[in-house]
Structure 1
């Protein structure tokens, strides 16, 4: 009897210690915008944009001026964020295999790209074998939730099978769709519902005295261009007569204002619940901005969503943790989506999953002021999206490229042609002058490093296309 009491008391003390540790661990609010370009915030330099709440995060935390997505499109970049791995490891290569139903494109392709990960009965998406960042937090006592755009699979591959205690996917703005299907009023603006559900989750976690990881992947500012009427009216009036801004861009400005409104509501909820000091806030986007009339949300960079030029892969990054990350600080270090997973684990002192490869770098030494430089030597992209063969120009709208950035240089390997292109981002950040012929030694160095990366991540070599004409 005494022995049973001893074990009961020991278990009780252990439980109390664990709960005390949990209650002292910082929460994480991770906000992911959709298709928000590097020049789509006022704080990042676009004076046309109204984003006071996100700008406040910018002022109160650290922002990165050379932040990148892992892919210029949605699904692969999101898989890299959630899995912490480069594209060849998680195998969510593309949003869709459109080339398979485009006869002209298929017949023009010299090579077939690797197949997207597919699960029988559930379609394409991220494998359940991947240990998501949510699973890492959940294994360490965190409550986890995700409401918003998932884009990593349905059925067995849905949100709550990938480490999230609660959540469901919402796509679209008005008359949004849900997966799994939810019986709810879908005529509302989806960002309002995402914000509302996330705040409910935060309140529940607070009531349980449990640290939380809230992943908030908004559908804003993805197409269709469906802004709230009052914000559209506001910008139409404000920019009347401004011929430098197109009608689509006015709609995007209104949608960014809605995104900012939701971010403000989330921040206010943390303050109302006395959680601001104990919560790490991360804000970024999944890829660069889509094309608009004057591309004002990508400038001054070349390229748009779907391209590996800087405008297609550069995105804003903001990290805030009151009294821990210096307010108003910045870093010019090149960072990428796969860094988010190890960084948030590092900031919260959460254990990394065992026997699982994380391709990114823990940026917490930079964020906490202990270092100013990253350790790694290179960033790499594999983009395998074949699309829209143009018979007249004899070119694809996009095809298979591998890209490496190292020593301030950016080299692109065009798999179809076997050609290599080089830009010196240190002196030419806007990619105006191709310099491969002038610096052959740099090309060889980057080719060797790219080959090393391919070997490390299990890169699938190009296979000849039997349907080529």
Structure 2
């Protein structure tokens, strides 16, 4: 009898072992987030030591307008025929238009971390996109793989993931100094109206990171108005796998609208609310120097727009594209309202204005394709990394200057500090460059000898017009482009220039040699196909 039970017992044990393997929780202390407490204490002490304004005369106001997922080709100045953006274009006409400007990542949060610190985000472990959750167990992974068509997003197979308490700590480390913190130290009044996306733990929230005033939300997205609001068009997008997740957040948790940490209820269109709050702050602070950071959520999903703007694009039959271009119009009008208020307040000569986007357009929504650039958001091709970037400072910067050299979003930090006469904090390396002498013709060389990107196994470097994309531990799918002759990345020259490939690889490894490990792992891989080729990029 016992011999007949033996195979059955093995079967039961095997079944239990298999279930245990599938259901075993993946949360691991391997991804526990620990900060250098001594360095954090030194940072707090440095910021607590307030300094008088560095100049006898009033330093300039700094206004930074940031779009969300606005591609380089999404404005009329850069050739878009579907939408007219006169107010954004006017900033370039009255100032500087940087034709080869790059974000530090092709996705929101890491890009913003580099921008707001003036440093490559890899220096402090903010390499990957922040995540709200990871796989709980292997059963979820196989469920997604076998039963969910999530193309072009693929959940990564992982044997360990961050625990919930560590997920909540993802964000900007307390060892870093934000633009707001530095300007606050030197007596500026500071505000942010819009999207934060750099962490929602108490010590990461904007009113604890150098901003006297914050209005907006903490997450990657929120509703522009409560779903079903009269006068607002809600356009769901079944072709975008992320769309259901985007709408599901509603205005709950980190998607809630908050004012200095307290939730507020809004029914007006969010872009208008962000603009309203920005204008109110400028009016209140017009007699003292201020730093105003306005990170719009437009035109990031969900696709919602006022009906009157939607009607302007009745000639576009695709409701997704129609809503998208109407949203860009709302962004352009918001830029015009803020710019116009600066003029009306008599602050035009005393205000340095920046306009840029956090990354390229989200081609996976099918609302845009970033043409003629290749790729889009998430991808390290030009369509994902190259962004609109303009600056205006009346009677200081030249008007109608088309600046051709590479610049980075990190340059905003260093340029703003230089304009205000604020010294960079000692003891830390800054990767941004003061662009003022380049724009004023005082320096003729390129501001950056090279620019670098890294996320997971994906590595990218641009130097002397040559751009290399490669995998960290593989020679497969290495791509080499000469952007001066091939700006749309159509012809890879990897086989023709193997020595240049190796030189650029080594340059990238030298750049990243001393960086810490990422504070949290990527969750998904994004699939991009073109010309019979298939690429997977970590996010």
Task: Tell me which residue corresponds to 1:178.
Answer: 257
The gaps in structure 2 that reach 5 residues or longer are 1-50, 147-153, 227-250, 524-539
Say if 2:98 and 2:388, in contact at 8 Å, map to a contact too.
yes
- CA shift, 1:182, in A, is 3.9
Identify if the C-alpha distance between structure 1 residues 87 and 114 changes in structure 2 by more than 3 Å, giving closer, same or farther.
farther
Task: Tell me which residue corresponds to 2:490.
Answer: 432
Task: Tell me which residue corresponds to 1:404.
Answer: 461
- Between the aligned partners of 2:59 and 2:448, the Cα distance in structure 1 is 28
CA offsets 1:289-334 (integer angstroms, 9 cap, x no match): 0116766451101101111111011100000000111100011111
Q: Give the count of matched residue pairs.
A: 425
- Between the aligned partners of 2:106 and 2:392, the Cα distance in structure 1 is 25
- Between the aligned partners of 2:156 and 2:166, the Cα distance in structure 1 is 29
Task: Tell me which residue corresponds to 1:169.
Answer: 216
- CA shift, 1:77, in A, is 0.4
- CA shift, 1:23, in A, is 5.8
- CA shift, 1:18, in A, is 5.6
- CA shift, 1:137, in A, is 0.9
- CA shift, 1:45, in A, is 1.4
Specify the structure having the higher radius of gyration (Cα): 2
- Between the aligned partners of 1:96 and 1:20, the Cα distance in structure 2 is 36
- CA shift, 1:364, in A, is 1.5
Task: Tell me which residue corresponds to 1:233.
Answer: 311
- Between the aligned partners of 1:99 and 1:414, the Cα distance in structure 2 is 24
- Between the aligned partners of 2:160 and 2:471, the Cα distance in structure 1 is 16
- Note if 1:367 corresponds to 2:439: yes
- Between the aligned partners of 2:363 and 2:349, the Cα distance in structure 1 is 38
Say if 1:42 and 1:49, in contact at 8 Å, map to a contact too.
yes
Relative to the length of structure 2, the TM-score reads 0.73
Say if 1:71 and 1:287, in contact at 8 Å, map to a contact too.
yes
The gaps in structure 1 that reach 5 residues or longer are 1-16, 385-399
CA offsets 1:142-200 (integer angstroms, 9 cap, x no match): 11100110001113110111111111333331135224654544111111111111111
Task: Tell me which residue corresponds to 1:103.
Answer: 141
- Between the aligned partners of 1:404 and 1:113, the Cα distance in structure 2 is 31
Counterpart pick for 1:24 among 54, 58, 69: 58
- Note if 1:72 corresponds to 2:123: no
Relative to the length of structure 1, the TM-score reads 0.83
Counterpart pick for 1:144 among 167, 190, 206: 190
Which 10-residue stretch deviates more, 52-61 or 413-422? 413-422
What SS class does the counterpart of residue 152 from structure 1 fall into?
A: coil
- Note if 1:279 corresponds to 2:317: no
Task: Tell me which residue corresponds to 2:27.
Answer: none
What SS class does the counterpart of residue 427 from structure 1 fall into?
A: coil
- Note if 1:126 corresponds to 2:172: yes
What SS class does the counterpart of residue 215 from structure 2 fall into?
A: strand
Say if 1:65 and 1:331, in contact at 8 Å, map to a contact too.
yes
- CA shift, 1:347, in A, is 2.2
- Between the aligned partners of 1:117 and 1:326, the Cα distance in structure 2 is 52
- CA shift, 1:415, in A, is 3.2
Q: How does 1:260-339 map to 2 (within 5 A)?
A: 260-291=332-363, 296=368, 298-339=370-411
Q: CA RMSD in A?
A: 3.1
- Between the aligned partners of 1:289 and 1:95, the Cα distance in structure 2 is 16
- Note if 1:187 corresponds to 2:259: no
Identify if the C-alpha distance between structure 1 residues 118 and 77 changes in structure 2 by more than 3 Å, giving closer, same or farther.
farther
CA offsets 1:421-448 (integer angstroms, 9 cap, x no match): 2111121111111111110110111011
Task: Tell me which residue corresponds to 1:12.
Answer: none
- Between the aligned partners of 2:355 and 2:173, the Cα distance in structure 1 is 25
Identify if the C-alpha distance between structure 1 residues 416 and 450 changes in structure 2 by more than 3 Å, giving closer, same or farther.
closer
Identify if the C-alpha distance between structure 1 residues 297 and 114 changes in structure 2 by more than 3 Å, giving closer, same or farther.
farther
- Between the aligned partners of 1:462 and 1:21, the Cα distance in structure 2 is 42
Identify if the C-alpha distance between structure 1 residues 223 and 110 changes in structure 2 by more than 3 Å, giving closer, same or farther.
closer
**Runs of 4+ in structure 1 displaced over 3 angstroms?**
17-23, 96-102, 104-122, 179-185, 292-297, 415-418, 456-463
Say if 2:406 and 2:448, in contact at 8 Å, map to a contact too.
no
CA offsets 1:348-370 (integer angstroms, 9 cap, x no match): 22211122221222212112221
- Between the aligned partners of 1:113 and 1:336, the Cα distance in structure 2 is 36
- Note if 1:81 corresponds to 2:132: no
- CA shift, 1:374, in A, is 2.4
- Between the aligned partners of 2:384 and 2:58, the Cα distance in structure 1 is 39
